[in-house]
Amino acid sequence: MGKWKILHNLLACVSILLILYALIKNYVIDPGAVEFLSHKTGLKRELNLPVWLKVMYVHVAFSCIAMASGLLNFSTRIFKKSRKFHRINGYVYIVSVLLVVLTSGYMAPYATGGKISSIGFNLINMIWPLITITALIQIKKNRIIRHRNWMIRSYAFCFTNMVIHLITTLFHQGFGLMYATSYTIGVYGSIVLLLIIPDIIIRTIGQSREVANSA
Ligand code: HEM
């Protein structure tokens, strides 16, 4: 099994689990986001809960669509079967990314951890679309490997929420820091990790055209 195939299988497991977790946690177990909102203390702006929740539902829905469509487009088997599907699904991914970022823009001012966290989120709101559009520009110029690499960089940001929560848990429960402080560390930690890890992956799979030839 080639490196690309192993990576894709691993990605599929993590992404599918994450999609299921996001849907069940936010629409079934805790639709009022009671647990998450309990950590918001001393908000500078008053949060309009019904609106915030609706925006959060849209945010989670398009996050899941982005994760699913992105995953499908990394499949060489599907790519070989239908380029048209890859192209349409690619635009579904881009629109979903833009909607995640748009909804994030509404939620960012109320972020746990205050202004510093908000700035971190708004940084991601700029970085993620930029990286995604770069991937689109590369394929418009017919540069397949560069397109693949920029898509790997873009897809990494689908794991923003997961990485933020992992880092928050580590600092809050592991090192005993306050929740809000741990969350802010999570926001910035996720930016650093999600910019570094894809490049390690890209270096590991190399510059081969394996993506177009295998699996
Ligand atoms: C693509 C995968 C993503 C999923 C599944 C996801 C999911 C969620 C969920 C469930 C929440 C509610 C609070 C929580 O339980 O964490 C949330 C909040 C939020 N998300 Fe996302 N998200 C994703 C990506 C992003 C990205 C890329 C951004 C861009 C900056 C973003 C920005 C925000 C903001 C600003 C909040 C509010 C945070 C707060 O109030 O402290 N999310 N997200």
pLDDT of residue 208: 56
In a domain, 165, yes or no: no
**Residue 214 pLDDT level (bands cut at 50, 70, 90):** very low
In a domain, 147, yes or no: yes
Beta-carbon contacts of residue 74 (< 8 Å; ≥ 6 apart): 8, 11, 151, 155
Give the mean pLDDT of the chain: 94
In a domain, 100, yes or no: yes
Q: Whose CA is nearest to atom 9 of ligand 1?
A: 60
- Number of domains forming the structure of the chain: 1
Beta-carbon contacts of residue 32 (< 8 Å; ≥ 6 apart): 53
pLDDT above 70 covers a percentage of the chain that reads 95
In a domain, 56, yes or no: yes
Burial of 48 (0-12, 13-18, 19+ CB in 10 A): exposed
In a domain, 180, yes or no: no
Q: Whose CA is nearest to atom 30 of ligand 1?
A: 121
Q: Whose CA is nearest to atom 23 of ligand 1?
A: 161
Asked whether the predicted pLDDT for residue 212 surpasses 60, the reply is: no
List b or e across 112-126, with b for residues whose CB sees 16 or more CB atoms inside 10 angstroms.
bbbeebbebbbebbe
Range of the domain at 142: 3-31+47-158+205-213
In a domain, 191, yes or no: no
pLDDT above 90 covers a percentage of the chain that reads 87
In a domain, 190, yes or no: no
In a domain, 197, yes or no: no
Q: Whose CA is nearest to atom 34 of ligand 1?
A: 104
H or E element, residue 19: helix 3-23
Rounded mean pLDDT, 201-212: 71
Which protein residues are within 6 Å of ligand 1, measured from CB?
Answer: 22, 26, 33, 36, 56, 59-60, 63, 66-67, 100-101, 104, 107-108, 110-112, 121, 124-125, 128, 157-158, 160-161
DSSP state of 25: I
**Residue 4 pLDDT level (bands cut at 50, 70, 90):** confident
